[in-house]
Copies of this chain bind each other. A is one copy, B any other.
Amino acid sequence: MKKQFIRTLVLCIMMQTMIAQSIENTMHNLMPWPQKIENKEGKFIIDSNFTIAIQQKQTNRLYKASTRFLRRLSGRTGVFFDVGFPDQERTSASLIIKVGRKGTIELSEDESYSLTTKSNGILLESETDIGAMRGLETLLQLVTATTDHFYIPGVKIEDAPRFPWRGLMIDVARHYQPIQVIKRNLDAMASVKLNVFHWHLTDDQGFRIECKSHPRLHQMSSDGQYYTHQEIKDVIEYAMDRGIRVIPEIDVPGHATAILTAYPELGSKDTTYQVERYAGIFDPTLDPTNEKTYKVLEDIFKEISALFPDPYIHIGGDENEGKHWDENPKISDFKKEHHFTNNHQLQAYFNSRIQRILRKLGKKMMGWEEIMTKDLDTSSIIHSWKGVNEGVKPRHSLLQAAKGGYHTVLSNGYYLDLMHNVSDHYLVDPIPDDIALTEGEKERILGGEIAMWGELITTLTIDSRIWPRAAAIAERLWSPKEVREVEHMKKRLAIISFRLEELGITHIKNQKVILRNIANGYTIDALSKLTKVCQPLKGYTRNKGGTEYKSYSPFTLFADACTTDAPDALKFDKMVNEYIVNPKNAIRPLEAILNSWVRNHDELEILNSKTPLVNELLDLSSALKELSLFFLRLLEQGGISKTNYNEFIKLIDIAKVPHADVEIVVNDSFIKLFEFMKKNEL
């Protein structure tokens, strides 16, 4: 942790000079925002003579990263470069990279870099090649277009991360994700400087990793959808090439239906099991009193340890409600023998056994916050996930862990599957100002992890759930805590989001694929317009009780085409705000958008007459149409009469009802508009 300390010290010194100016600077579409940035005179123009020289400590990784840099720069600008590869021999070049040493892909490695861009060249310097790769991403984000050319503006950037643990967890158990989905997301992670890929490999719905010692696991519990050792190695290499650590998770003792499908004899209940097709919290649990359980887990963790170079292994440990433990007299006897008065103690015993196994394998343990029991070794990392939904204060376990001497990582507030708008996540800080911790305790908060649970996502939709929101959280974890201006973030995010397509991220293009399927080949304009005011149901309301969707249900529905932060809802809200400030000037755009919603419903009705999948959306668009007509009338008549009150309540109540697992998200703006008109007797 010495490195960690120095890092923080350096940051503190740097932050004194940079904060004010960095937040105000809105001209660069950088994300995460760097620790320190100064604008300089001049600009470097991108033309066919562009070259890269890696003058010091060229590593294979950096060579490959700068080659990818060249391809992306060329693809984006359309410039045909004469030289297609970086060169070590060059004494002069457009971009000179100087690196102190080869970095190690491990916690708290130096990721800092400095970048100076001038009209006659670009200099990228860093302690490690990992830092240089972070700088290359910043450089790509700096590329700017004028009318007739692309250039890099003159800047001087000093940059380093605020937190050393900036992760993205992907759950591939509920829905399997092919290797290329993982890879393109690793590319996107690297582009916003995330550095930990947490791979949730097993759960009730699947065991997604080849197990050579117990092949029934992947054979019986994956429907053929698992990663071979070779593929795992390939992904790890791909991640490490991008400066990203890979942490595997084998979730035990709960979330174990897939394991028990293959080995029912390890279960706490004497029964057979079948891979779960629903979502939720289930009873099947490993038997912690059975020595064979530890034998099998030792074999599994041994394989995992050999595959994954990172010292940390995530053992899950969450949501074990112990129902099957309570029902099993043998387990009750075991508890009595060991003087365990509750299941927490039994799980603590289980964890200590697992920890012993991991220690023998040279690994450290990470687990969801439930693993934090009295005797847990402080070498473990506590993964804090519970919050208001679970009846506790957000960060409760984070604080307890830090105080208890554990390192800890925050995920509460970063659950993308809850389908909250980006600002909800963006403002969640792992260490808010009012946190009651000593500096030493704060130091134990390593950072955060974005969680992408997989119940309702498929290969088609996963990117649209992760991106662009993950980029905003990445900024939270990298940038100075003072960088938290939401509107500024949103402006930059729009550009960052669009640029993710360069890396193959499908969040924009796959929406239309879904809509084309719904429209069954007819024009999608009306559907597309409707998506702009609709959002999938938040929280876990889309899949009540986990039983509406099976893992093989279709995820090609209108709800899957909708995303958070519905753009026209935001636009409309802005229009209403402007109307409230200045009714006369702002009335035209308001009328225009209301009229467009009226027309859109009519167009949807035409589409509905041609194809089956539109019908369930008509209630949404009809509610919007009726509200629009209502307000058009009010605007035209220039005021509200008492008789309008009830009418409005009726209309808004209809508009509040979700259909097809989505909801219209303009209602609050309509209410605001109505209240304003009422108050001002307009």
Query: Which residues of A are in contact with B by a Cβ distance under 8 Å?
Result: 64, 67, 70-71, 74-81, 84-85, 145-150, 178-180, 223-224, 228, 230, 277, 459, 494-495, 498, 501-502, 504, 506, 508-510, 512-513, 516-518, 520-521, 549-557, 608-613, 615
A501 partner, pick from B67, B459, B513, beta carbons under 8 A: B513
What B residues does A517 contact at CB under 8 A? 75-76, 501-502
- A651 CB to closest chain B CB (Å) equals 27
What B residues does A509 contact at CB under 8 A? 506, 509-510, 512-513
- A459 CB to closest chain B CB (Å) equals 8
Cα of A629 to Cα of B223 in the assembled complex, Å: 61
Given contacts A495-B521, A509-B510, A552-B84, contact A78 B613 (CB under 8 A): yes
Chain B, residue nearest A504 (CB): B459
Cα of A521 to Cα of B502 in the assembled complex, Å: 12
- 12 further interface pairs, Cβ-Cβ under 8 Å (given A75-B554, A509-B512): A67-B223, A70-B552, A71-B552, A77-B613, A78-B557, A80-B553, A81-B552, A84-B277, A84-B550, A459-B504, A501-B516, A509-B513
What B residues does A520 contact at CB under 8 A? 145
Cα of A64 to Cα of B501 in the assembled complex, Å: 32
- In the complex, the answer to whether A521 meets B498 with C-beta atoms within 8 Å is yes
Copies of this chain present: 2
- In the complex, the answer to whether B80 meets A550 with C-beta atoms within 8 Å is yes
- In the complex, the answer to whether A554 meets B516 with C-beta atoms within 8 Å is no
Cα of A71 to Cα of B176 in the assembled complex, Å: 14
- A25 CB to closest chain B CB (Å) equals 19
- In the complex, the answer to whether A74 meets B553 with C-beta atoms within 8 Å is yes
- A513 CB to closest chain B CB (Å) equals 5
Chain B, residue nearest A556 (CB): B75
- In the complex, the answer to whether A612 meets B554 with C-beta atoms within 8 Å is no
A178 partner, pick from B74, B180, B224, B498, beta carbons under 8 A: B180
What B residues does A557 contact at CB under 8 A? 78
A to B CB contacts below 8 Å, 22 in the list: A64-B224, A75-B556, A76-B517, A77-B554, A77-B612, A79-B554, A80-B553, A84-B277, A84-B550, A84-B552, A147-B611, A148-B612, A149-B612, A178-B180, A179-B179, A228-B230, A230-B230, A459-B504, A498-B516, A501-B517, A506-B509, A508-B516
Chain B, residue nearest A549 (CB): B80
- A528 CB to closest chain B CB (Å) equals 12
Cα of A366 to Cα of B150 in the assembled complex, Å: 49
Cα of A351 to Cα of B452 in the assembled complex, Å: 56
- A227 CB to closest chain B CB (Å) equals 12
- A191 CB to closest chain B CB (Å) equals 15
- A353 CB to closest chain B CB (Å) equals 35
Chain B, residue nearest A73 (CB): B554
Cα of A478 to Cα of B518 in the assembled complex, Å: 30
- A91 CB to closest chain B CB (Å) equals 22
A512 partner, pick from B230, B494, B512, B612, beta carbons under 8 A: B512
- In the complex, the answer to whether A150 meets B498 with C-beta atoms within 8 Å is no
- In the complex, the answer to whether B554 meets A78 with C-beta atoms within 8 Å is yes
- In the complex, the answer to whether B76 meets A612 with C-beta atoms within 8 Å is no
Cα of A595 to Cα of B510 in the assembled complex, Å: 32
Given contacts A501-B517, A512-B509, contact A612 B64 (CB under 8 A): no
Chain B, residue nearest A74 (CB): B554
- In the complex, the answer to whether B148 meets A615 with C-beta atoms within 8 Å is yes
- A604 CB to closest chain B CB (Å) equals 13
A76 partner, pick from B81, B494, B549, B556, beta carbons under 8 A: B556
What B residues does A549 contact at CB under 8 A? 80
What B residues does A553 contact at CB under 8 A? 74, 80-81
What B residues does A610 contact at CB under 8 A? 145, 147
Cα of A508 to Cα of B521 in the assembled complex, Å: 12
Cα of A516 to Cα of B550 in the assembled complex, Å: 36
- In the complex, the answer to whether B615 meets A552 with C-beta atoms within 8 Å is no
Chain B, residue nearest A184 (CB): B180
- In the complex, the answer to whether B556 meets A78 with C-beta atoms within 8 Å is yes
- A341 CB to closest chain B CB (Å) equals 43
- A185 CB to closest chain B CB (Å) equals 13
- In the complex, the answer to whether B612 meets A150 with C-beta atoms within 8 Å is yes
Cα of A471 to Cα of B146 in the assembled complex, Å: 42
Chain B, residue nearest A241 (CB): B224
- A151 CB to closest chain B CB (Å) equals 10
Cα of A70 to Cα of B552 in the assembled complex, Å: 9
- A56 CB to closest chain B CB (Å) equals 22
- A77 CB to closest chain B CB (Å) equals 8
The 3 closest A-B pairs by CB, nearest first: A84-B552, A180-B180, A509-B509
- In the complex, the answer to whether B145 meets A612 with C-beta atoms within 8 Å is yes
Chain B, residue nearest A180 (CB): B180
- A225 CB to closest chain B CB (Å) equals 11
- A198 CB to closest chain B CB (Å) equals 23
What B residues does A67 contact at CB under 8 A? 223
What B residues does A556 contact at CB under 8 A? 75-76, 78
What B residues does A501 contact at CB under 8 A? 513, 516-517
What B residues does A508 contact at CB under 8 A? 513, 516
Cα of A230 to Cα of B610 in the assembled complex, Å: 47
Cα of A459 to Cα of B146 in the assembled complex, Å: 28
What B residues does A552 contact at CB under 8 A? 70-71, 74, 81, 84-85
Cα of A658 to Cα of B470 in the assembled complex, Å: 43
- A503 CB to closest chain B CB (Å) equals 11
Cα of A77 to Cα of B277 in the assembled complex, Å: 20
What B residues does A613 contact at CB under 8 A? 77-78
What B residues does A79 contact at CB under 8 A? 554
Cα of A331 to Cα of B556 in the assembled complex, Å: 63
- A332 CB to closest chain B CB (Å) equals 37
A608 partner, pick from B81, B147, B504, beta carbons under 8 A: B147
- A661 CB to closest chain B CB (Å) equals 11
Cα of A653 to Cα of B80 in the assembled complex, Å: 29
A612 partner, pick from B70, B147, B180, beta carbons under 8 A: B147
- A462 CB to closest chain B CB (Å) equals 13
Cα of A549 to Cα of B228 in the assembled complex, Å: 38
Cα of A612 to Cα of B615 in the assembled complex, Å: 44
Chain B, residue nearest A76 (CB): B517
